[in-house]
Amino acid sequence: MNSYSINFEQAKKIIDEASDLGVFDITLTGGECTINNDFIKIAKYITEKKLRLSILTNAQKLYDDEKLFNDLINLYPAAIKITLFSMNPLIHDKITRVKGSQHKAVEVIKKLRAHKITTEVGCPILDCNFNEYKQVKEFADSIGAKFLHSAMFINNKKNNNFNTKLKGKKLINYYFETIDINNLRKEFCNKGRFTCSGGIDRLSIAPNLDIHPCNYFNYPLGNFNTISLKEVIEKIVPEFQKKLTCKNLKDCFKHEYCKFCIYCPVYTCYDEGFLKKSKTLCEDAKAYYSAYLKHKQLQK
């Protein structure tokens, strides 16, 4: 969707330095990584460096281009993740705005499993596909794919499809149906620090070579044209992490549901701004807490 694209020579420099620094897992994502002209060349180089190769794709080009599909599976990627919003083509295609995209995604998932490739089926759950994730899970389970799901509660202002974030009773019901009462979410650190590990256990490099703390956090730490990954990790990341404190969030830590907050700076940037109190995340924590209370009542 923009004029930037990482070419092989750029990718090779990134992969070489990442390997020298001890990185062992590289994920190719996007946008859509398979439309990059050097996609297979880059993927092959990752495997030649003995690094774990993961792919995040919408699967459309893997369906359309048989040679591309075969070239990819011959590299034996560690995992390929494909997003599937629904087993109903009308619902999935309405969200993606691409007619036939659901059929292509499903067929590629089946082909990957037939070739015994580790396949992850991701299902972001919105208001418009809330009743669909169970069928997607059944499909994934039936072919031995891993099922990944998450509640979508961010409005994407650039794409009105996603202005149907999960909220209210549906969000509570979703957590009630999926919560593990023996392994509860408790992600808000009570020592005044966030649990964001962006820059510590991951980095993301955008098509324009900006280096970000993670794939979702639009907070440039530098640009690979002018700074090395080593410099970013050793000098920039520690300073970035110092900013990730919640000392100014005066309304936080005052409620029982706060311990279930996933206070991620990515979400707050979409909502109120960097390191600001987030109404959206408060709603999510309350919903999770409500689901937890319902489970506790049933156990009595």
Residue 266 has what pLDDT?
77
Residue 218 has what pLDDT?
82
With b for 16 or more beta-carbon neighbours within 10 A and e for fewer, the 165-197 pattern comes to: bbeeebbbbbbbeebeeeeebeebeeeeebebe
Task: Indicate if the pLDDT at residue 285 is higher than 60.
Answer: yes
Minimum mean pLDDT among 23-27, 113-117, 152-156, 162-166: which range?
152-156
Residue 300 has what pLDDT?
75
Task: Indicate if the pLDDT at residue 191 is higher than 70.
Answer: no
| 46-90 pLDDT, tens digit each | 999 999 999 999 999 999 999 999 999 999 999 999 999 999 999
Query: For 252, phi and psi rounded to 5 degrees?
Result: -90, 160
Q: Rounded to whole angstroms, how far apart are CA atoms 212 and 14? A: 14
Q: Rounded to whole angstroms, how far apart are CA atoms 262 and 186? A: 8
Angle, CA of 295, 83 and 40, to the nearest 5°: 140
Residue 24 has what pLDDT?
93
Residue 221 has what pLDDT?
95
Q: Which CATH architecture has domain 1-166?
A: Alpha-Beta Barrel (3.20)
Measured CA to CA in angstroms, residue 38 lies from 5, 88, 114, 219 at distances of 9, 33, 26, 26
Residue 213 has what pLDDT?
93
pLDDT, greater one: 117 or 245: 117
Q: Rounded to whole angstroms, how far apart are CA atoms 257 and 85? A: 29
* Cβ neighbours around 144 below 10 Å, total: 10
| 247-276 pLDDT, tens digit each | 666 667 788 888 888 877 777 777 677 777
| 123-165 pLDDT, tens digit each | 999 988 999 999 999 999 999 999 999 887 665 555 554 457 8
pLDDT, greater one: 197 or 24: 24
Residue 187 has what pLDDT?
61
pLDDT, greater one: 143 or 186: 143
Length of the chain: 300
Task: Indicate if the pLDDT at residue 245 is higher than 80.
Answer: no
DSSP-assigned states of every residue in the chain:
--S----HHHHHHHHHHHHHTT--EEEE-SS-GGGSTTHHHHHHHHHHTTPEEEEEE--HHHHH-HHHHHHHHTT--SEEEEE---SSHHHHHHHHT-TTHHHHHHHHHHHHHHTT--EEEEEEE-GGGGGGHHHHHHHHHHTTPEEEEEE-----TT-GGG-----HHHHHHHHHHH--TTS----S-TTSB----BTTTB-EE-TT-EEESSTT-----EETTTS-HHHIIIIIHHHHHHH-B-TT-TTTTSSGGGGG----HHHHHHHT-TT---HHHHHHHHHHHHHHHHHHHHH-
Task: Indicate if the pLDDT at residue 1 is higher than 70.
Answer: no
Q: At which residue do the structure tokens 């070419």 appear?
A: 7
Residue 143 has what pLDDT?
97
With b for 16 or more beta-carbon neighbours within 10 A and e for fewer, the 104-115 pattern comes to: bbbebbebbbee
| 165-181 pLDDT, tens digit each | 888 899 999 999 998 88
Mean model confidence pLDDT for the chain? 88
How sure is the predictor about 203, in pLDDT bands with cuts at 50, 70 and 90?
very high
Residue 176 has what pLDDT?
94
Give the percent of the chain with pLDDT over 90. 62
